[in-house]
Chain A
Amino acid sequence: MAFELVDILPALPELILALVALGLVLVAAFGGEGAANARRVAHITMFGIALAALTLWSSAPVQNTAFGGMFRADAFADYMKTLVLLGSFAAIFMSITPLARDDINKPEFSLLVLLAVVGMMLMISANDLMSLYMAVELQSLPLYVVAAMRTNSLRSSEAGLKYFLLGALSSGMLLYGASLVYGFAGTTSFAGIAAAVAEAQLPVAFIIGMVFMLTGIAFKVSAAPFHMWTPDVYEGSPSPVTALFAIAPKVAAIALLLRLTYGAFGSIALEWSQVIVALSIASMVVGALGAIMQTEIKRMMAYSSIAHMGYALAGLAAGSKEGAFGVLIYMTGYVFMGAGSFAIILLMRRDGQSATRISDLRGLSKTQPMFALGLMVMMFSMAGIPPLAGFFGKWYVFLAAVNAGLVPLAVVGVVMSVIGAFYYLRIIKIMYFDDSDAPLDQDVPLANKLVLGVSMAVITLFFAGLGSLIDAANVAAMALMAPF
């Protein structure tokens, strides 16, 4: 098979990012130590991401494959990649000043994040067990390193190590499951697996393999009961890193799960949907109950993200086009809610030190009214109160769940969302009903203001743009369901 340039063109955005990353290795190595170089690398990274996004949007989404069928480009991939690029762009944008203030002047940070972004993009386009595993590893390895970025902090090292150990375990499970699936299907391509499961009787070994694979990805999604690492890693990592973890990797992992379940295992939805239902319920319960007792806002956000993944999985469990559609809408809101919330968490500093206890927000509505308003909007949206974005996500995932006959799942979900509302309200209470004892630092970087402003606008006006968003999500969901 002769190599032709046309074969790799559908992966152009990924290629651009990879090339920028390679170039940045040189810049990072020879650009000198210190804040200036770190800033330069961050700016080039943002430029690279913007370039990749423009490339992505410049061509109409057509179903196409590259690298001999291992890579799939379609409307679904474009939709999810847009979210990943937005999320990681915001995370890097907001990280520049806080990292400099914390004296983490490492140019490698942005570089590693960029490599992880390439991994996430490849995860979304994975069309083969081989590319799936490679993409997952490419995404994970840089993130292990950035979690431990604050080398003088024990907690940060602990976070990195914990993340690495559990991540390695989950990769092992994924790999083991993949080998069993390969053993049954005789091929690693999703198309081949889909054809094989549609025809033959399913042996127990295949089911075990499938469950192992789902488990491995559930680790990456941080769905309960595979969530244990999440609160510790969120808390221990430097805040800008947490902001990164909370947004883009979740989108990529959910996209990968959709690819695998709707693509490779599309015809046996009954088999995997029970697993997803169990994961979904467990995540919603653990997320809602676990967050109540937290005093550290990053730990609370960790539990909150576990709960959000539970809601997204509720849509996925439906196994229908509506389900995929619901997940897409949900993740769209999730990216902006996450970016907006972390824009404020990143500015929680007092006397130059990071102050991320929930009680540090006390009286924020008096000292910094606009930020308090912003965080309030984010919290109400996460609680799923209309007319904000979070509500519409819940509306569509539960619509799919009820439509698929999963009414008990929907009832558990909405009841858990009420319990969840309690801890989101608690943040609002602390900001608005309590008085401040020591105000937070007033010096807020422009990046946070911009990200917060955009997120607030998107979340409050979500209902107005929903008409066009559902068209895009519909096309994407249809592309996901389309045969190979």
Chain B
Amino acid sequence: MIDNWPILSIITFMPLAGVLFLLLIRGDNETVAQNARNVALWVSAFTFLVSLVILIGFDNAVTGYQFEEQRVWLGDTGISYHMGVDGISMPFVLLSTFLTPLAILASWRSITSRVREYMIAFLVLETMMVGMFVSLDMLMFYLFFEAVLIPMFLIIGIWGGPRRVYAAFKFFLYTLLGSVLMLVCMLAMYIDAGSTDIPLLTTHEFAAGMQTWLFLGFLASFAVKVPMWPVHTWLPDAHVEAPTAGSMILAGVLLKMGGYGFLRFSLPMFPMASEFFAPLIFVLSVIAVIYTSLVALAQSDMKKMIAYSSVAHMGFVTIGIFSLTEQGIAGAMFQMISHGLVSAALFFCVGVVYDRLHTRDISAYGGVTAVMPRYAVFFMFMMLASVGLPGTSGFVGEMLVLVGAWQANTWLALFTATGLVLGATYMLWLYRRVMFGQVVSAEVQAMEPMQPRELGIFVPLTILVLVFGVYPMALLDVMDVSIQFILDDLAAGGVSLLAAR
């Protein structure tokens, strides 16, 4: 019976139903705020529970899309309401529905003004994120992809730090500029193929010359989203100014939209151009990995440091994807999911101490281990996961990417591996300065220990990072068939795959 339910539509639009509830709340400010928190948490938690239906019902062995829904939207113009998930998008859907309740929980105490509006923004954001991952129509994808900007712009701009206006504008305009170039390419694709249906476009063969331009247009959008060097500069600003929960979602899900886009559009639809431009992507990614790691070393702001580390980690993702090997792509996917969990946790780590001391300056901290021992354990675990310690999910992703990179080019693998060393350097150094040593001030001494609410956010994240680290097949099995499908598609598109050599 449940097979006939439009389960993806339900998951996508359930948060919007929560928004309606939020609009109906009446009462004085404090009541409204508390009720808004509760409604948002329950709605997002319930959405997560419903999204588990896809996890349970998902068949790893099936090629193509599952839970498909297709309805008439714009008549017979080749544009329809089409949703579905495969091994590539399914993990991201769950990542989005999983992180949203945690992000809402993370803002429980730190957001005190305009709580209702804040929760509305988060629920709308969840709808947009999920909708983007389940869309199987290019126009629908674009609608969700762009609409994400609206709630995020408001989250940064209204509830952000002192330079929030600058950061919000930079975030919005940077991303928009990339996206509109993609839009022009989408128009050209629609005209060429007569449809915006993604499965249909995947089988449509675009002329070689056209592929080049289309690839560059999509690159303009996805490179900003990932973000790749040199268009990453919006990210540190956005992260530093965004509230903790905003950073969690930004790093956890929004950055993955670029990588997802590469896998959904660039590789299957423009195979020849993907092969042609792979060296360019490698160069940009290697610069991202090494350069931004060095920049991260020089930061005095904790959030900025983790933001730069995100750029470096996403460099691994793009290298993995464009190695065009099975291991590389699987590694990139794994790295994205892992980074989604780990970076969200790390930003929350910063948020926990920021809520207490109201500064993110590394030098203001020291000896936190003595004051907050349980916090120290979680922070250390997430820090090590970020570095790629075996047994955590970070290790699997980076390892697989390196294997893929090695097959593509030995030098590439060498430079990429440098990033691992640098990553370990700045993360360990950060941890030493913040957590170890003498308690530097009375303020640090007075920091209250972790609350159960904070524990409730760390525990699920930790469990998942550990599970994926110890038993990576849980995730790899899900993606395997879909990755194989992309590789077959590449081969059919005239790309001589390394694995075949």
Contact = CB atoms under 8 A, between A and B. Distances in A.
Interface string A408-429: 0011001101100110010011
A433 interface: yes
A471 interface: yes
15 contacts: A391-B146, A398-B183, A398-B184, A398-B187, A399-B187, A399-B191, A407-B188, A414-B181, A415-B177, A418-B180, A421-B173, A422-B169, A429-B165, A429-B168, A467-B72
Given A402-B191, A433-B164, A433-B165, A415 B180 contact: yes
B111 interface: no
Contact of B169 (A387, A399, A429): A429
Given A403-B191, A410-B187, A470-B75, A387 B147 contact: yes
A206 B196 CA distance: 43
Contacts of B180: 414-415, 417-418
The prevalent SS among residues of A at the interface is: helix
A403 to B, nearest CB: 5
B142 interface: yes
Given A385-B150, A421-B173, A463-B143, 6 more contacts: A398-B184, A399-B191, A403-B191, A422-B173, A429-B168, A467-B73
Interface in B129-145: 139, 142-143
Given A387-B147, A399-B191, A421-B172, A471 B75 contact: yes
B173 A386 contact: no
B77 interface: yes
A425 B184 contact: no
A399 B79 CA distance: 13
B146 A385 contact: yes
A391 B144 CA distance: 12
Contact of B157 (A395, A432, A467): A432
A402 B157 contact: no
A321 to B, nearest CB: 13
A470 B77 contact: yes
A380 interface: yes
B213 to A, nearest CB: 9
B176 interface: yes
B354 interface: no
A466 interface: yes
A467 B74 contact: yes
A403 B191 CA distance: 7
B165 A385 contact: no
Given A418-B180, A422-B173, A433-B165, A402 B187 contact: yes
Given A414-B183, A415-B177, A429-B169, A386 B188 contact: no
Contacts of A429: 157, 165, 168-169
Contact of B184 (A369, A402, A463): A402
Contacts of B75: 467, 470-471
A455 B188 CA distance: 31
A398 B182 CA distance: 13
Contacts of A470: 74-75, 77
Interface in B117-167: 117, 139, 142-143, 146-147, 149-150, 153-154, 157-158, 164-165
